[in-house]
C-alpha cells in the first residue's frame, strides 16, 4: 500500500487536472439547455474508466441520460464492490453570487471551487483514480463494478429500470458511495443514516389573466396572497409540520443514539456564526443536529408569481407557484407523505382559486447497520488514513437510490463520504478541499483491502 | 362643430397610423433597458404636438425622463385647460401570453391591441388630435396647456419638482386627464373618485448564502416560509387588512352613494364568468364594486425566492422578496400607511431573519366634486356625443398626481376617461376600442366648448 501512497504523491497535479476537465463540463441535468453537456460528461467518465483499466465499459442508454458502466472481475471467489456515483450536477443559479464562474474550476484556500467539485464529480472521480492506482500496482483486493449515473439531481429517474433489468450484472456484496460529508477533518465520520425526500410543485390559479390591482384589487382572490396563506398553514407555531398524519410513522430514536449525536454536535453559537443568523429556527423540543438528522421537515425551495423584475407593477398575477420539499426519516414513506401533503394542501384552498399539485422525485430514508462488514471495513480504512476512529452519524440529506439498491439487489450501501457540510454543495461557491480529495483517493484502497479481509475471515 | 366631425371621419386612418407609430416605441419606464425608447417616445409626442399647432413646445429635462410641454394661449380672458397625460407604459411581461407582440399594434375585434393602446398613449393622443382639429377649424374655445410625462408608471418621480417650480407657467382652471375607464359604452361614466396607492418591496434574509435543504433543513429559518407566514398575517379571516391603524382614516361613504354605486354595478355572476373564477374573494360586508372603489385593500404584486426554474433544486434560498401594494381611499395618507405597514411587518419577523422594507412610489386618493364646472362640462360633452347622461363613479385605480395638482396648483382634475375595465391595461393583450378612441377625439372639443361657456356664464 505504500507504493500507492507514493504514486498518489507523484500524480496529485495530474489527477487534479483531469478532475478540472470534468468540472468544466456544465452537466446540469435538471435544465434541458445543458443536455449536450450532460452527455459529454458521460463520455468523459467512460473514457477515464476504460483508461483506468475497467472491462466492459459502456454507456447504457436510458430514456434520459446514460449510465456509465464498467467492471473488473479478478476472482469470482473474492467479494464484489459496486461503486455508485453521479456525473450530473445541481444548477449553478444564482450565477452572480459565485466569486469565480461555476464551471471554471479554481483553487482557493486549498479547495477546488466549482459546481460539482464535491457533489459528486470530485468524490466520484476519487474512485476512478483509486481504482487506477490499484490496477497499476496489482493490489485490487475485490472485484469491482462501476455504475455512474447522470440523473441523480433529478431523482435518478431511469436508474431503477436499469437496476431491475440487470440484477445479475450488478450482483455485489456492497454498494460503495462517496456522496456525503464528514463532521470535520478532525472528527472523521461515516453516514449511517439518511433522510428521505418528497418533492412537489404547487400552482395556485385565480383569475384567467393578470389583472390591474387597482381595478380588481379587493374583489378577487390574489393567488400570491392565497399561496402565502396556504404555505403558512403547513407548519404550526412549534414549527412542526401541520399535515395530518405526517408524524405517524416517524422512527423513535433511542436516547443512546441521541446522546451519541449530542457528543459530536457542533455548538449552536458556532453554527449561527457560520450562517450569520441571530437565531436558529426549528421544531420545538429537538436540538439542531436532531432537527437535521432524525426529524422530518418541510421547506419551500422556490416560489414565484406576479411581477418579479426591477421596479413596480401594480398587477394581480393569474398564477402563483411554489416548489416544496419534505425531508423524511426512517419508516416514513415518500409516496404516502406526498399523498398526505396533496390532500391537506388542497383542503386549504378557498373556492376562489384552483390548485394543482405535481409530484417530482421522492426517495426513502435509509439506515446502514453499524455492525456490518462494510461499516467495519470503512471504519478501519478511515482510522488508517485519518489516524482516528470515525463516528457514525445521521445526515439530513437524501440519497434515494440506497433504498432501491437494498430492495432490488438485496445489498446495503456504505456511505464513505469525504465532503464537509460547509462545502456549499447546492449553493454558489461549491468547493471541495484538496486534502479531502486526495485523502479520499488514499482511503478507498484500504476499504477494498479490509472489506476483502473481513469477508474472507467470516467465511 | 359639425366640421370637426367630418374631419374626424375623413382622417380616421391617418390618426390611427400615427398612434400605431407611437405604440411601436416600447417606452417602458420601469425597466432601464428601454431607456432609449422612452426618450424616443417623448420626441415623437413633442413633434406631433408642435405639428398640431402648439406654441413653446419643448422637452423639459428632469433627472429621469423628460416632460413634453406645449401651449396655445388664444385669449387671456378665456379659461385655461391643462391637459395631462403620459407617454410611458407598463412592462409587457409576460410576453408569451400576448396573442400578438405587445409593441406591434394590430386591430382585432375592432380594438387596437398593443401595450399602451389604452394606458395612456391612445387616450393621451386623442387630446393632440382633438387639439389639432380645433386649431384647423379655428374652434379652440379655451386656452390650453399640455404636460405629458414619461414617468407615470414609476410614480411620477420627477413631476412634482417640475410642477412646484413652474406654478405660473402651469396656471390653469382645470386639469383634464384621460387615463381612466367608463362602466361601458352603453353606460358612459365619469370617474369622480380614485384610490390612492402605497407600494413597497420587502426582503427577508435568513442565512448568508443559499443552503442545501437536506443538510440544513429543519434547523434554520427558511426565508420563503417565513415570508409566506408574514404575508399571511397581513389580512385577517374576514379579508380585512390586519395592520393596526390601517382603517383609522377611511372615509365613511354615505348610503346614498352606496346605493348609486349598486345601481351601476356589474352582476357578480357576469364578473365571475369574465374572470373564469368559481368564487370572488374580498372584505366581508361589502359588495364587489364597493370592494374595488370605496374600500382599501392589499395585494402582493410579485414575489420570488429560491430556485424558480424548471425542475427540482433542494435549496433553502438566502433571501425571499415580495412587492406589496395597498390601494387607499379618501382621507388615508400614503406615507402614513406605508409607515404603519413597515412597523407592523417588521414586528411579524422572527429573530431568525432580518427584514428590509423599501418604499416605492405612493399616491393619495382623490375625489372630484360632481357640482364643479368641469364635471358639468364633462357631463354635457359626454351626453352630447354618447347620447346619454354619464354616471359618476369611483374607480379602484390610482392617479397620484391629481392630489399633487390640487395641492400645488390649486386646481381640480377632471377624469374624462374613455377606456373600459376590460381593456387589460396592466395585463397581456392590452387593447383600446376603435370606437372609444374616435369617440374620445369627438368628445374633447365639446368639453372645451362647454367649459368655456359655463365659466363665462358664471362670471
Q: Is B303 on the interface with A (CB under 8 A)?
A: yes
* Low-confidence winner among A233-237, A426-430, B256-260 (lowest mean pLDDT): B256-260
Q: Is A270 on the interface with B (CB under 8 A)?
A: no
Shortest Cα–Cα distance, A213 to chain B (Å): 7
What is the per-residue pLDDT across A199-239, written as a single tens digit (0 to 9) for each? 999 999 999 999 888 888 999 999 999 999 999 999 999 99
Inform me whether the pLDDT recorded for A184 exceeds 90: no
Cβ–Cβ gap B360/A312 under 8 Å: yes
Q: What confidence score (pLDDT) does residue A36 get?
A: 97
Predicted TM-score of the model (pTM): 0.77
Residues in A 144-163 with any Cβ partner in B closer than 8 A: 153-155
Inform me whether the pLDDT recorded for B17 exceeds 80: yes
* Low-confidence winner among A244-258, A433-447, B155-169 (lowest mean pLDDT): A244-258
Cβ–Cβ gap B314/A325 under 8 Å: yes
Q: Chain A contacts of B316, Cβ < 8 Å?
A: 299, 301
Chain B's closest residue to A395, CA to CA, is B215
CB nearest to B306's CB, from A197, A229, A302: A302
Question: B225 or B424: whose pLDDT is higher?
Answer: B225
Q: Is A322 on the interface with B (CB under 8 A)?
A: yes
Only one residue has cell 390601517, namely: B246
Q: Is B206 on the interface with A (CB under 8 A)?
A: yes
Cβ–Cβ gap A325/B213 under 8 Å: yes
Q: Chain A contacts of B269, Cβ < 8 Å?
A: none
Which among A91, A228, A284, A319 is the top mutation candidate for probing chain B, defined by the most B β-carbons within 10 Å of its own β-carbon? A228
Confidence of residue B327 (pLDDT cuts 50, 70, 90): very high
Instruction: Report the mean per-residue pLDDT for chain A.
Output: 94
Chain B's closest residue to A237, CA to CA, is B229
Q: Is B244 on the interface with A (CB under 8 A)?
A: no
Inform me whether the pLDDT recorded for B374 exceeds 90: yes
Question: B396 or B35: whose pLDDT is higher?
Answer: B35
Confidence of residue B213 (pLDDT cuts 50, 70, 90): confident
* Low-confidence winner among A424-433, B101-110, B254-263 (lowest mean pLDDT): B254-263
Cβ–Cβ gap A306/B308 under 8 Å: no
- The angle formed by the CA atoms of residues B401, B406 and B409, to the nearest 5 degrees, is 100
Q: What confidence score (pLDDT) does residue B361 get?
A: 73
Confidence of residue A394 (pLDDT cuts 50, 70, 90): confident
Q: What confidence score (pLDDT) does residue A264 get?
A: 75
CB nearest to A213's CB, from B208, B299, B428: B299
Residues in B 58-117 with any Cβ partner in A closer than 8 A: 90-91, 93-94, 97
Q: ipTM value of the model?
A: 0.77
Inform me whether the pLDDT recorded for A265 exceeds 80: no
What are chain A's domains? 2-194+365-458 (3.40.630.10), 196-250+296-362 (3.30.70.360)
Inform me whether the pLDDT recorded for B260 exceeds 80: no
Cβ–Cβ gap B215/A308 under 8 Å: no
Chain A's closest residue to B361, CA to CA, is A312
Inform me whether the pLDDT recorded for B178 exceeds 90: yes
Q: What confidence score (pLDDT) does residue B144 get?
A: 98
Shortest Cα–Cα distance, B312 to chain A (Å): 7
HEC-encoded secondary structure of chain A: CHHHHHHHHHHHHHHHHHHHHHHCCCCECCCHHHHHHHHHHHHHHHHHHHHHCCEEEEEECCCCCCEEEEEECCCCCCCEEEEEEECCECCCCCHHHCCCCCCCCEEECCEEECCCCCCCHHHHHHHHHHHHHHHHCCCCCCEEEEEEECCHHHCCCCHHHHHHHCCCCCCCCEEEECCCEECCCCCCEEEEEECEEEEEEEEEECCCCCEEHHHHCCCCCCHHHHHHHHHHCCECCCCCECCCCCCCCCCCCCHHHHHHHHHHCCCHHHHHHHHCCCCCCCCCCCCHHHHHHCCCEEEEEEEEEECCCCCCCCEECCEEEEEEEEEECCCCCHHHHHHHHHHHHHHCCCCCCEEEEEEEEEECCEECCCCCHHHHHHHHHHHHHHCCCCEEEEECCCCCHHHHHHHHHCCCEEECCCEEHHHCCCCCCCEEEHHHHHHHHHHHHHHHHHHHHHHHHHC
Question: A186 or B84: whose pLDDT is higher?
Answer: B84
Q: What confidence score (pLDDT) does residue B192 get?
A: 86
Instruction: Report the mean per-residue pLDDT for chain B.
Output: 94
Contact between A283 and A396 (Cβ < 8 Å): no
Inform me whether the pLDDT recorded for B264 exceeds 80: no
Cβ–Cβ gap B351/A398 under 8 Å: no
Q: Is A19 on the interface with B (CB under 8 A)?
A: no
Q: Is A284 on the interface with B (CB under 8 A)?
A: no
Q: Is A398 on the interface with B (CB under 8 A)?
A: yes
Amino acid at each position: 500500500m505504500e507504493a500507492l501512497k507514493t504514486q498518489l504523491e507523484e500524480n496529485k497535479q495530474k489527477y487534479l487536472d483531469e478532475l478540472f476537465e470534468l468540472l468544466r463540463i456544465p452537466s446540469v441535468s435538471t435544465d434541458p439547455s445543458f443536455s449536450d453537456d450532460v452527455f459529454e460528461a458521460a463520455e468523459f467518465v467512460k473514457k477515464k474508466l476504460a483508461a483506468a483499466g475497467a472491462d466492459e465499459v459502456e454507456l447504457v442508454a436510458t430514456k434520459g441520460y446514460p449510465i456509465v458502466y464498467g467492471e473488473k472481475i479478478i476472482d469470482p471467489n473474492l467479494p464484489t464492490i459496486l461503486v455508485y456515483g453521479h456525473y450530473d450536477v445541481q444548477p449553478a443559479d444564482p450565477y452572480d453570487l459565485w466569486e469565480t464562474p461555476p464551471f471554471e474550476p479554481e483553487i482557493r484556500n486549498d479547495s477546488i471551487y466549482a459546481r460539482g467539485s464535491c457533489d459528486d464529480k470530485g468524490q466520484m472521480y476519487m474512485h476512478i483514480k483509486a481504482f487506477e492506482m490499484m490496477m497499476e500496482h496489482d493490489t485490487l483486493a475485490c472485484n469491482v463494478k462501476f455504475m455512474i449515473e447522470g440523473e441523480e439531481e433529478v431523482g435518478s429517474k431511469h436508474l431503477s429500470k436499469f437496476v431491475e433489468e440487470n440484477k445479475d450484472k450488478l450482483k455485489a456484496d456492497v454498494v460503495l458511495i462517496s456522496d456525503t460529508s464528514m463532521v470535520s477533518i478532525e472528527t472523521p465520520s461515516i453516514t449511517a443514516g439518511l433522510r428521505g425526500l418528497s418533492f412537489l410543485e404547487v400552482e395556485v390559479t385565480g383569475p384567467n389573466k393578470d389583472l390591474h390591482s387597482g381595478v380588481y384589487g379587493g374583489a378577487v382572490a390574489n393567488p400570491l396572497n392565497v399561496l402565502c396563506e396556504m404555505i403558512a398553514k403547513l407548519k404550526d407555531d412549534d414549527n412542526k409540520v401541520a399535515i395530518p398524519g405526517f408524524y405517524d410513522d416517524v422512527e423513535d430514536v433511542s436516547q443512546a443514539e441521541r446522546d451519541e449525536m449530542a457528543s459530536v454536535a457542533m455548538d449552536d453559537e458556532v453554527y449561527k456564526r457560520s450562517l450569520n443568523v441571530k437565531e436558529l429556527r426549528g421544531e420545538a423540543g429537538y436540538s439542531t443536529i436532531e432537527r437535521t438528522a432524525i426529524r422530518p421537515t418541510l421547506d419551500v425551495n422556490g416560489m414565484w408569481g406576479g411581477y418579479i423584475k426591477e421596479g413596480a407593477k401594480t398587477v394581480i398575477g393569474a398564477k402563483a407557484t411554489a416548489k416544496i420539499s419534505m425531508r423524511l426519516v426512517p419508516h416514513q414513506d415518500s409516496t404516502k407523505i406526498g399523498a398526505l401533503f396533496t390532500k391537506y394542501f388542497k383542503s386549504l384552498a378557498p373556492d376562489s382559486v384552483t390548485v394543482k399539485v405535481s409530484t417530482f422525485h421522492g426517495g426513502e430514508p435509509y439506515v446502514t447497520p453499524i455492525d456490518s462488514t462494510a461499516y467495519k471495513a470503512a471504519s478501519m480504512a478511515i482510522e488508517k488514513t485519518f489516524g482516528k476512529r470515525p463516528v457514525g452519524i445521521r445526515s439530513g440529506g437524501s440519497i434515494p437510490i440506497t433504498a432501491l439498491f437494498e430492495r432490488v439487489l438485496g445489498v446495503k450501501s456504505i456511505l464513505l463520504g469525504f465532503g464537509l457540510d460547509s462545502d456549499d454543495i447546492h449553493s454558489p461557491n461549491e468547493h471541495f478541499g484538496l486534502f479531502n480529495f486526495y485523502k479520499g483517493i488514499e482511503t478507498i484502497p484500504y476499504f477494498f483491502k479490509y472489506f476483502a479481509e473481513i469477508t474472507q475471515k467470516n467465511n
